[in-house]
């Protein structure tokens, strides 16, 4: 009897909201920490990304934004693209750190279908609410987000459309060069501020 119980408990799907709630709390605690503002922007980004990696699957994100092109890359190229794309996201959203001032996150709904889940939240800011959904895959016992949908706009789809256009015109090498240029441009702007 005990054996059957432990097997069914082990096969139960973990609750995505319950896994994500403490993670988001950890991220928001870092964002409101006054010490964060005392370190350079690039270090702020590294600090946040290291925590975000706990529940975000940047490999899956990279795979989805590249679509068909991903399958044409070898393992080393896939790893390099994942690093570049993660760095681009880090820099693209680091500027938004200053916009965060303790807005509340309300968990509203979750959907689970097999090894996929969506956790819907509302970011409450001075009476205004912004719907934010996290799209996840189950990796072992861990739900890992691979897309964020803010007010109906998918981060992955947004980058996928931009990258598809560049891939069509300039190929994979052109895309990589543009991402590197963008990262370099952002780094220069950060050094000025």
| Domain map (residue ranges) of the chain | 2-192
Cα end-to-end distance, the chain, whole Å: 64
What's the chain's average pLDDT?
88
The most confident of 72-81, 89-98, 118-127, by mean pLDDT: 72-81
For CA atoms 183, 185, 187, 190, the dihedral sign is negative
Classified as helix, coil or strand, 124 is strand
pLDDT confidence band for 97 (50 / 70 / 90): low
% of the chain residues with pLDDT over 90 = 63
Whether residue 5 has pLDDT greater than 70: no
Whether residue 112 has pLDDT greater than 80: yes
**What phi, psi does 104 have (nearest 5°)?**
-85, 145
Q: pLDDT at position 1, please?
A: 38
Q: pLDDT at position 193, please?
A: 60
Q: Closest Cα to residue 122, out of 139, 137, 109, 112? A: 109
Q: What is the pLDDT of residues 139-158, one digit of tens each?
A: 999 999 999 999 999 999 99
Per-residue tokens: 104? 């509340």
Per-residue tokens: 9? 């408990």
The most confident of 3-17, 94-108, 136-150, by mean pLDDT: 136-150
Annotation: CATH topology of 2-192: Nuclear Transport Factor 2; Chain: A, (3.10.450)
């Amino acid at each position: 009897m005990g054996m059957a119980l432990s097997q069914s408990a082990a096969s139960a799907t973990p609750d995505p909201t319950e896994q994500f709630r403490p993670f988001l709390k950890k991220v928001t605690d870092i964002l409101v920490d006054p010490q964060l503002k005392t370190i350079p922007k690039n270090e702020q980004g590294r600090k946040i990304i290291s925590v975000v990696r706990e529940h975000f699957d940047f490999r899956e994100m990279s795979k989805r934004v590249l679509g068909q092109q991903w399958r044409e890359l070898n393992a080393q190229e896939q790893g390099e693209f994942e690093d570049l794309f993660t760095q681009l996201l880090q820099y693209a959203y680091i500027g938004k750190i200053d916009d965060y001032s303790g807005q509340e996150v309300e968990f509203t709904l979750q959907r689970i279908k097999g090894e996929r889940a969506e956790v819907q939240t509302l970011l409450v800011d001075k009476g205004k609410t912004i719907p934010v959904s996290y799209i996840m895959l189950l990796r072992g016992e861990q739900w890992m987000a691979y897309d964020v949908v803010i007010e109906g706009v998918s981060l992955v789809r947004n980058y996928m459309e931009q990258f598809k256009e560049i891939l069509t015109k300039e190929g994979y090498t052109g895309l990589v060069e543009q991402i590197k240029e963008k990262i370099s441009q952002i780094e220069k702007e950060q050094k000025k501020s």
